[in-house]
Structure 1
Amino acid sequence: MSAKLSHSSYTVALVGGTGLLGKEVANVFLTSYKPFFSRIIVTARDTTTAGAKALAEKGAELVPISPVDPLGSLTKAFEGVDVVINLVADKPCDFKDAIAEAAIKSGAKVYFPSEFGADHRINDFPGWDDTLWLWKGQHDRKYRQLGAGKTKVIALYTGLFLEFFISPLFGFAADAILTPVGSPDAKTALTSRTDIARALAELTLLSLNPETASSVPDDVRIAGSNTSWRQIIVIVQKVRDELNVEPRGEIKVQGTDLNAFREKLRKEQLEKPQPHPIEHIRALIGEEKLDFSSKNDNELVNPGESIWKWKTVEDLVRERGGKWMTVEEIVIGI
């Protein structure tokens, strides 16, 4: 802690700090990690929203970004900034490229691209991969090359958002039915948005400290937990019994054959690429490529859970009273 506090004049810029993940990251930087930063900049196209004003009240420095000249306004916003964290999700790729280019132009020491999901480097969807994942790989390579020797580009892979996994999006079709792709024993890396925010803060401090900067790899994988469908079933049933809440009884598994699922997805993707990789993710889970158990950097960002306790599936299920999210709740959350 003393080593971190001795470097309390850092400046961080959060792009997309009012979004789904961004607001969690901004809140963590503005509370638990505020003593480590002299300035916490949050850029937004509209700095008058309720979410932006709430962050300003906590000490964020709001900077508007011009929709007409995003590169110019971002470069100006990043003047004197040590770290740029790209938390933008549903924005054009040109805008995300402008964020990276501005970070390098302004002399930022570290840039985090908008990753925070599956480790798409290990995908095996030849000719029918998700287009956004393909672009992300190109983005990371391009700006690592442009920033070589000046700006370190750190891609953070976090698995799936814990808060959204136990939902109809990924096969939790009803309160007592699961429809996993492949084996129900395949594990998935699940990380809460708040834990992602803490990991970003720790990686920021590690990367800026000359004594620890070399310990941070270009690609970082974390997982609050690695949990299988079968383990989730046990957890949900246990919590429902303890809390005496309905529905009770057995949760049934209606599995889907992995090979048949992949072939169907391949044909559909070749015919009409989908705007979101939900089905690709379900295939990756079945292929056990979203299991970060054997290879992750949890000890780098949170050694022995000495800085915080990772939020688990059981923590979340207890918070929700033994239920999982409905489609309506997902839409509201997004």
Structure 2
Amino acid sequence: MPSGTQYVVLDLEDIARYIRGHTAGFAETHIWTTIQSHIIPYYSLTMSIKNVIIIGAGGNLGPSVLQAFLSSSFNTTVLSREGSSSTFPSGVKVIRADYSSIDSLKQAFQGQDAVISLVGGGALGDQNKLIDAAIAAGVKRFLPSEYGSNTPDPKTRAIVPVFEAKFATINYLKSKENVISWTSVVTGPFFDWGLKVGFLGFNAQNKTATIVDSGDATFSSTNLGTIGKAVVKSLENAEATKNQYVYVSGFQTSQNQILAAAEKITGDKWTVNKATAKDYIAKGNELLQKGDFSGIGSLIQALTFGDEEQLGDLKPSGLWNDKLGLEQDSFEDSIKAAFSGKLLHEV
């Protein structure tokens, strides 16, 4: 590029508008053919993402997302809070920062193309500071902490009010789209992890299952390893996923389908306990009123497994699995791994 020349990145529609204004008589199809042939190859370069920094690479999801990026072509860095005792695989570049300081965060984000937030708990409502620091550092893409229920649906937020924090983060990002883009990956509950710890209602050791309502409600659920791959592929397809909710489903299943597979795998008849979504909502709200945030889990279980609204099914929102080229995991192998105390990608 000639030295001293300034370049401005424009939206493709801005470019089309410019061509219309300076080329009277051009057919609309000719305009877009010109853009596709001569502009997009260079435009895509401006949108390319190479350097990625992950916030919250510990926890339940973090290690799987980190591993997916370490297996990719991205240059990957982990951001950790100053004073944190979290450890990461040898060879991983780790930057420490003061999360309460935008200046400290800005310094940590320098040279990064994308920031991936995996924060949880109370930090979900405090991501605006991360976004502001990313903007100040010139970051191109911000992926907020989502990876679960369909929070854009007001019915989902009505059952789990703390999800308003996630929705507010997206609205904040939308207000900043002139300076930073975003992608929000929605996956449903973690499948192999959820079976491993009992969140999906199954106890492999005792061979018991707690079935909510009829047990036939279809819900979307995704293995942790697949979630990691989905995040990677969202950035590999950065233009397609720009300013989008990206819905991913590892399995479209139900509690009864899991139960049938569990009995087949173990060769035993399981004991079934019955519950209702209303029971779980009452339990969750009671716990939250006492200041026990484990109640959030009960509310998520209610909206995922409940018959009435079928809020756990992401398919009506439009799945991205095929667009991203995600491979299908084995349903039975995922269950076997979880019952042995592992995640599928750890087997």
**Cα distance in structure 2, aligned partners of 1:270 and 1:40:** 37
How far 1:47 sits from its partner (Å)?
8.3
- In the TM superposition, what whole-angstrom CA distance separates every residue of 1:274-301 from its partner, at most 9, and x where no partner exists? 5242111121121321122443111121
Greater shift in the superposed pair: 154-163 or 280-289: 280-289
Asked whether the equivalents of residues 170 and 278 of structure 1 are also in contact (C-alpha less than 8 Å), the reply is: no
Evaluate the alpha carbon distance shift between residue 76 and residue 312 of structure 1 in structure 2; reply closer, same or farther with a 3 A threshold: same
Q: Tell me which amino acid in the other structure corresponds to 1:66.
A: D
> 1:290 aligned to 2:312?
yes
- Which of 97, 109, 121 does residue 78 from structure 1 map onto? 109
Amino acid at match of 1:186: A
> TM-score, normalization: structure 2?
0.74
**Residues of 1 paired with 2:289 and 2:320: CA distance?**
38
The DSSP-based 3-state class of the residue aligned with 1:115 is coil
Structure exhibiting the larger radius of gyration computed from Cα positions: 2
Structure 1 equivalent of residue 32 of structure 2:
none
Residue 143 of structure 2 is matched in structure 1 by 112
Structure 1 distance, partners of 2:274, 2:303, is 15
Tell me the residue number matched to 1:232: 258
Provide the TM-score with structure 1 as the length reference: 0.76
The answer for the alignment partner of 1:66 in structure 2 is: 98
Give the secondary-structure state (helix, strand or coil) at the position aligned to 1:289. Answer: coil
Partner of 2:58: 18
- The Cα shift of 1:152 comes to 1.2
Aligned partner letter, 2:67: N
Q: Once superposed, what is the RMSD of the aligned Cα atoms?
A: 3.1
Q: Which residue of 2 aligns with 1:199?
A: 230
Provide the secondary structure at the position in 2 that maps to 1:194. helix
Q: 2 CA distance for matches of 1:223 and 1:41? A: 27
Q: How far apart in 2 are the matches of 1:260 and 1:170?
A: 16
Closer/same/farther in 2, CA of residues 255 and 198 from structure 1, 3 Å limit: same
Among candidates 261, 273, 285, match of residue 254 of structure 1: 273
How many angstroms does 1:29 deviate by?
Answer: 1.0
Q: Distance in 1 between matches of 2:103 and 2:156?
A: 37
SS in 2 for 1:169: coil
Question: How many residues were matched structurally?
Answer: 293
Q: Is the 1:152–1:218 Cα contact (8 Å) retained in structure 2?
A: no
Greater RCO (Cα-Cα under 8 Å, separation 6 or more) = 1
Residue 179 of structure 2 is aligned to residue 179 of structure 1: no
Aligned match for 1:151, one of 180, 190, 206: 180
Q: Structure 1 residue 23: deviation in Å?
A: 1.9
- Does structure 1 conserve the Cα–Cα contact (< 8 Å) formed by 2:221 and 2:251? yes
> For structure 1, which segment, 221-230 or 182-191, has the greater mean C-alpha deviation from structure 2 after superposition?
182-191
Change (3 A) 1:253 1:293: farther
Aligned residues with identical type, % of pairs: 23
Q: Could you say if the C-alpha distance between residues 71 and 256 of structure 1 is closer, same or farther in structure 2, counting changes exceeding 3 Å? A: same
CA-CA distance at 1:119 after TM superposition: 0.8
Partner of 2:70: 30
Tell me whether 1:132 sits opposite 2:150 in the alignment: no
Partners of 1:235 and 1:23 lie apart in 2 by 28
Secondary structure of 1:296's match? coil
2:83 matches 1:51: no
Alignment-derived partner of residue 164 in structure 1: 193
